[in-house]
Amino acid sequence: MNQRFLLATAMISATLVAIGLLAVDIPLAHWIHASGHENAAPFVVGLATLDGVVGIHISYWLASVVCVALGLAGLALAQRSRLPRALAIAILCAGIVQAATIGTMMLGKNVFGRLRPQQLFESGDWSAIWFSAGGSFPSGHASFYFGLFLPLAASAPRTWQRVGLILVPIFVALARIDMSRHFLSDVASSALVASAWSLLMVAAIRRWRPVQ
Q: Which residue has the higher pLDDT, 212 or 3?
A: 3
Segment 5-41, tens digit of pLDDT: 999 999 999 999 999 999 999 999 999 999 999 999 9
Confidence of residue 199 (pLDDT cuts 50, 70, 90): very high
**Could you tell me which of 13, 9, 4 has the C-alpha nearest to residue 166?**
9
The pLDDT score that the predictor gives to residue 211 is 42
Segment 46-56, tens digit of pLDDT: 999 999 999 99
The pLDDT score that the predictor gives to residue 64 is 98
Q: DSSP H helical segments within the chain, as ranges?
A: 3-19, 25-35, 41-54, 62-78, 85-112, 117-123, 140-155, 159-178, 184-208
Segment 120-164, tens digit of pLDDT: 999 999 999 999 999 999 999 999 999 999 999 999 999 999 999
Measured in degrees and rounded to the nearest 5, phi and psi for residue 89 equal -65, -40
Torsion-angle region of 35 (φ positive above 0: left; ψ -120 to 50: alpha; else: beta): alpha
Q: Which residue has the higher pLDDT, 74 or 17?
A: 17
Q: Which residue has the higher pLDDT, 108 or 84?
A: 108
Q: Is residue 84 within 8 Å of residue 91, measured between CB atoms?
A: no
The pLDDT score that the predictor gives to residue 209 is 67
What is the Cα–Cα distance from 132 to 115, expressed in whole angstroms?
6
Confidence of residue 85 (pLDDT cuts 50, 70, 90): confident
The pLDDT score that the predictor gives to residue 212 is 43
The pLDDT score that the predictor gives to residue 164 is 98
The pLDDT score that the predictor gives to residue 79 is 73
Segment 131-143, tens digit of pLDDT: 999 999 999 999 9
